[in-house]
Amino acid sequence: MGASEQDGIPDDWWPSTLSQFAKEAPLHAEHVVVAEISQPWGSTSDKRLYTALVPTDRIDAIEKRRGGIGHEVLSSGPWPSPYQGVFSYAPRFWIPGIGQDEDFEPLVVRWQSAGKTILTPDQGFLMTYALMPRNCESGEVLWDDPRNGVFDVVKVEPPSEYRFKLIRGARVLIRREYLQDYATVRDMSMIQTYYVANSDDSPDPVSTRLAKEKCGHLLRLPQRAVDIRFDARDRELVLAQVWGSRHLLAPAHAPVSDNRDYGVLHWPGYGAIDGSAGISPQGSPLTLGYVYVRDSVLGEYEGRPGFEITPESGAVSCRGQWSVSFTQRVGRDLIQVELKKLYEGNPPTVVKTWHKYAVDAPDLDGLAALRSQPNIARRAKAVVYAVVRLGEVLAGIASEVTDTPRTACDLVKLERARLEHEGWWSSEAVEPITRHVPIAMMKGDFMSRCVDLYKVVGECLSEKILRQTLISLGIDKEDIKDLRSLRLLERLVQLAGTAERTGLDLVSQGQEVEARRKESPPSTPVTVLIHLCELRNSKSHRGRSAKQALKDLGICIQKTTPGWGEALDTIYDGTAQALLGIADALLAGTASLM
């Protein structure tokens, strides 16, 4: 243990009020904080942290330098101004090194305006890994690596805000393996520069002595400068401030750029595959080797930009970067994968991701039975085509009654030809209802999925055309002025059912059909959609309770203890049947029109 040139204080001494920072191990977390503006220890604390790239041969000098180096990211702006009327502006960012002629490249840049400080990763880092941004409702920006199937490589929190005091802090976090890779491919070390401060009413004896004897006098220790004084805001508190740097990591291996290590993976039903040295054609799995994974692996990609999922097979592709194909859905929640094709052309990160979901293979006797079981893709497809079928029937009725040509797309925003050309799952509204449904689904996720389902089967209905159709059939427009699309559909189905039951002609005797309907309104399959709408409304605290709507839909809440997955299966199946029933009822009651 060495001693400083002043006061006999050990070189490794830290004021007790900042001991938490001194003990930090930033590389222990999966995501490393590379820039931060915060008050981590209360309102009297302050933390400003940045990361810089430094030539490795300069690390020794930095670690030995008493008093440290620059602690902030400096910039040549904002707001450049002309010198003697001539602009000659070069935007740049830097962290000061040792002496006036040395500066280091920051990994995160910053600038300030209107009380806010922007922290953003250097574009060179983002470009190196072809990272793609994803904006969150919270204002956070996440950067993904689609090529390797790695998400949240970088997390950028919204700008910090300062109004007389820090209102909101900000951080930038980067995955540890990407930091290591970047240091290696750049052949540079990384250091973190910082300013930290905190006040305490019971500091350690050294801090107390320095505050009394050396107020405003910097203590220069290796890699940092320390200032101990009484807090100007409260003289009962001792304020400790430290400016310094710490070595983060050095160039070593490149776990991202040179990643050929698939590891030794044991696949249930197949055995172990040693891909630690990469996969060669001779060492690849057998062509007919199949393994099985839970379809929850799709949750790694569902809803994320850049990925295409084929729900019926469970295949996933990433815009030409890689593709897990030669797959087949089996049973309610399994995907059969051809192992050779999984390893061929897919990076280790993708193979390891799918391996996390590997399960025992079903026995051969049960495999045939599993193939006939419905899964979420089949259920979603049945719903989508039932909506299209209803749209086609409604379009035919509306076209005849209003004497205006209509298509299924006009009535339900979907049409068969486009679905079959582009894929029935490709619509922006449809994609969410194709996502995997675990048996252990939480109630909140179940309710959200019901909302997604209603968007496809309820919100798609054209209120305007349904109203025009009913008015053309002789229904008093005042009588239906308060009805929305579902209730208008219900009225049309009731009229069709009444016409079929009584033998009256719906077009020429529309008013009489309406009178008979009022006498005894028939029940219709539309009630299923109405109950689904009630579930949607209950999520936003409107209308009836979810409990009653669930009961009407045939869901026993007591049976959802293992999860809400099977309840959602029931909702999907009931919705598809109801849509087809509505279409059949309309056809039967309007046969004379068609």
**Per residue in 315-360, pLDDT tens?**
999 877 899 999 999 999 999 999 989 988 788 999 999 999 999 9
Q: Which residue would you say has higher pLDDT here, 128 or 211?
A: 128
| Domain-ending residue, one of 372, 394, 410 | 372
Assess if residue 2 is contained within a domain: no
Whether 4 shows a pLDDT value over 70: the answer reads: no
**How high is the pLDDT of residue 87?**
85
Same-domain status, 215 and 315:
no
For 69-93, the pLDDT digits (tens) are: 999 999 988 888 777 778 888 899 9
**How high is the pLDDT of residue 281?**
54
Number of H helices, E strands in the chain: 18, 26
Whether 483 shows a pLDDT value over 90: the answer reads: yes
C-alpha distances in angstroms, 374 versus 157, 203, 329, 330, 567? 42, 67, 10, 9, 14
Q: In the numeric block, which tokens belong to residue 446?
A: 């179940």
Report the half-sphere exposure of 81 (CA within 13 A, side-chain side): 2
Same-domain status, 110 and 245:
yes
For 213-261, the pLDDT digits (tens) are: 877 678 999 999 999 999 888 888 999 999 999 999 999 989 999 888 8
For 425-448, the pLDDT digits (tens) are: 999 999 999 999 999 999 999 999
| Domain-ending residue, one of 354, 372, 390 | 372
Same-domain status, 380 and 368:
no
**How high is the pLDDT of residue 320?**
76
Whether 541 shows a pLDDT value over 70: the answer reads: no
Whether 280 shows a pLDDT value over 70: the answer reads: no
Same-domain status, 163 and 305:
no
3-class state of residue 106 by DSSP: strand
172: amino acid identity, one letter = V
Assess if residue 9 is contained within a domain: no
Q: Are 343 and 449 in contact (CB under 8 A)?
A: no
Q: Which helix (H) or strand (E) holds 328?
A: strand 327-330
Assess if residue 4 is contained within a domain: no
Same-domain status, 216 and 284:
no
pTM of the model: 0.77
Residue 270: pLDDT band by 50, 70, 90 thresholds?
confident
Task: Note down the domain range covering 280.
Answer: 264-372
Question: Can you point out the beta strands (E) in 189-326?
Answer: 189-200, 219-221, 224-231, 234-249, 264-267, 271-274, 290-294, 308-310, 315-317, 323-324
Residue 286: pLDDT band by 50, 70, 90 thresholds?
low
Same-domain status, 474 and 393:
yes
**How high is the pLDDT of residue 344?**
85
Assess if residue 147 is contained within a domain: yes
**How high is the pLDDT of residue 2?**
46
Beta bridge partners of 192: 51, 246
Same-domain status, 385 and 350:
no
Beta bridge partners of 308: 317
Assess if residue 3 is contained within a domain: no
- Across the range 165-174, mean pLDDT stands at 94
Whether 3 shows a pLDDT value over 60: the answer reads: no
- Across the range 149-168, mean pLDDT stands at 92
Assess if residue 256 is contained within a domain: no
**Mean of all residue pLDDT scores within the chain:** 90
Same-domain status, 519 and 442:
yes
Assess if residue 126 is contained within a domain: yes
Assess if residue 1 is contained within a domain: no
Q: How far apart are CA 358 and CA 86, in angstroms?
A: 66
**Tally of domains within the chain:** 3
Same-domain status, 195 and 276:
no
| Domain-ending residue, one of 202, 223, 249 | 249
Residue 288: pLDDT band by 50, 70, 90 thresholds?
low
For 83-141, the pLDDT digits (tens) are: 777 888 889 999 999 988 899 999 999 999 989 999 999 999 999 999 999 999 899 99
**How high is the pLDDT of residue 1?**
42
As to burial, measured by CB atoms within 10 angstroms (0-12 exposed, 13-18 middle, 19+ buried), residue 340 is middle
Q: In the numeric block, which tokens belong to residue 82?
A: 């002309």
For the beta sheet containing 308-310, the strands, ordered from the edge strand earlier in sequence to the opposite edge, are 308-310, 315-317, 323-324
